[in-house]
């Protein structure tokens, strides 16, 4: 399967979020059929959280065994654990609190209540990722089991929003995080968008996901989407960097698609 991006354009943001929710339910069911469990990396933002609300409203949601879904976050704001700024808090309100989850499978990055610095919280998140990868490796009895445990667990699908400045997760243009090539998790200082301290997966971590879904709506994102899909440099346009191991999907609405190269366009039928 090609790793080159595929672009699906939906009529508006509401149709888009419902379509992403339907895709996500199907993806999680398929992963559970194959592996016995599924892993999703969530994103915040209007579309990311709106998609979770759409999952909560979906009649198909009970098809997923939510007790066997592993949840991670691509980035998090380093503030108090119960802050409304937290992606995890918003996700819990939108969907997670209504599900029968296994709490040990919900991996929330640390907060200011638990750690004295964003670097300590980032290191702790990296440790949890490594421990999950080791446990997954130990449980693997397949013939294709690698000799050594990977640094990260399997990510079946990883969701990413895109900012008007083309940032993804908390990897901002020209900043240290988007230049990182070795660390899998970084502490971010001086985010151009408040709050200033963040924890973020890096591109090397993001690009281990089986599928990466870029989920974007709004005219204010059109320039960033167009530049990313035109092949701009990753340091200047972080959204150009994510690539899933088997599939990279741009799931966007018509407003965000205004500057997408026409040869990449695939419009979804209205009402789908």
Condensed to tens digits (0 to 9), the pLDDT of residues 91-124 reads: 999 999 999 999 999 999 999 999 999 999 999 9
Q: Residue 1: its pLDDT value, please? A: 44
Residue 1 lies in a domain: no
* Of 36, 31, 73, nearest in space to 52 by CA: 73
Residue 176 lies in a domain: yes
Residue 221 lies in a domain: yes
- CATH number for the domain that contains residue 232: 3.40.50.1360
Q: In this predicted model, what pLDDT tens digit does every residue of 168-221 receive, in sequence order?
A: 999 999 999 999 999 999 999 999 999 999 999 999 999 999 999 999 999 999
Q: Do you know the residue count of the chain? A: 272
CA 124: distance to chain centroid? 19
- Under DSSP, the state recorded for 259 is T
Residue 24 lies in a domain: yes
Q: In this predicted model, what pLDDT tens digit does every residue of 134-179 receive, in sequence order?
A: 998 888 767 677 778 789 999 999 999 999 999 999 999 999 999 9
CA 16: distance to chain centroid? 16
* Of 234, 87, 88, 238, nearest in space to 163 by CA: 238
Give the Cα separation of 36 and 211 in Å (integer). 18
Residue 182 lies in a domain: yes
Containing structural domain, residue 92: 6-141+149-264
Q: What is the model's pTM?
A: 0.94
Residue 271 lies in a domain: no
Residue 269 lies in a domain: no
**Total domain count for the chain?**
1
CA 156: distance to chain centroid? 11
Residue 159 lies in a domain: yes
């Amino acid at each position: 399967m090609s790793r080159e991006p595929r672009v699906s354009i939906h009529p508006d943001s509401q149709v888009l979020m419902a379509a992403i929710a339907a895709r996500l339910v199907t993806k999680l069911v398929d992963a559970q059929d194959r592996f016995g469990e599924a892993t999703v990396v969530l994103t915040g933002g209007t579309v990311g959280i709106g998609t979770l609300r759409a999952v909560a409203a979906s009649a198909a949601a009970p098809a997923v065994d939510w007790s066997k879904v592993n949840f991670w976050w691509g980035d998090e704001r380093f503030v108090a654990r119960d802050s409304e700024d937290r992606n995890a808090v918003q996700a819990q309100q939108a969907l997670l609190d209504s599900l029968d989850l296994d709490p040990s499978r919900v991996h929330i990055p640390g907060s200011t209540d638990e750690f004295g610095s964003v670097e300590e919280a980032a290191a702790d998140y990296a440790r949890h990722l490594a421990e999950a990868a080791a446990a997954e490796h130990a449980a693997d009895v397949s013939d294709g089991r690698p000799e050594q445990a990977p640094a990260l667990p399997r990510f079946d699908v990883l969701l990413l929003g895109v900012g008007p400045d083309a940032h993804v997760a908390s990897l901002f243009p020209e900043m240290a995080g988007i230049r990182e090539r070795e660390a899998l998790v970084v502490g971010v200082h001086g985010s151009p968008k408040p709050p200033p301290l963040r924890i973020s997966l890096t591109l090397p971590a993001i690009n281990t996901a089986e599928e990466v879904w870029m989920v974007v709506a709004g005219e204010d994102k059109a320039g960033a989407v167009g530049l990313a899909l035109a092949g701009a440099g990753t340091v200047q346009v972080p959204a150009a960097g994510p690539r899933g191991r088997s599939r990279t999907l741009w799931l966007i609405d018509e407003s965000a698609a205004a500057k997408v190269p026409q040869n990449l366009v695939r419009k979804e039928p209205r009402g789908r």
